[in-house]
Amino acid sequence: MNYSVSLSDITAALKLSGEPVDSDALEKEEDLKGLLFCMGLDIQKRFLTRYCKHRNMQDKIVSCLRYEGFERRDKEWLASGYATRTNSDFANEAQEYVMPNTSSTTSQYHLDR
């Protein structure tokens, strides 16, 4: 596992996008998976959920749920500007690497910047 998304990052992204932060919606598996996908977590692979103290994407130390798994490697994520440097470097160095076709998943979940 090489990537994590904090619940605090999800709520911050929702606030920035103007979407209402609905705790009930975060409890629905499909809604949560859609948000995690938009935040770069590969939801096609296994991921863990745990409550812990950690540093979020805003560089703040928080205690809340954190979702731990693998970063997406599809073309859309790599071109988004949000992919980690490690993931971007991997894609640049391995140009012969064939990206998995995730067009059905990518079009299903979309969060405007």
Residue 23 has which token pair? 């705790």
Q: Are 91 and 76 in contact (CB under 8 A)?
A: no
Percent of the chain residues topping a pLDDT of 90: 46
Instruction: Give me the pLDDT at residue 28, please.
Output: 82
Positive/negative CA dihedral, 52, 55, 111, 15: positive
Three-class DSSP category at 111: coil
Instruction: Give me the pLDDT at residue 8, please.
Output: 94
CB count within 10 Å of CB 113 equals 9
Distance CA 68, CA 100 (A): 21
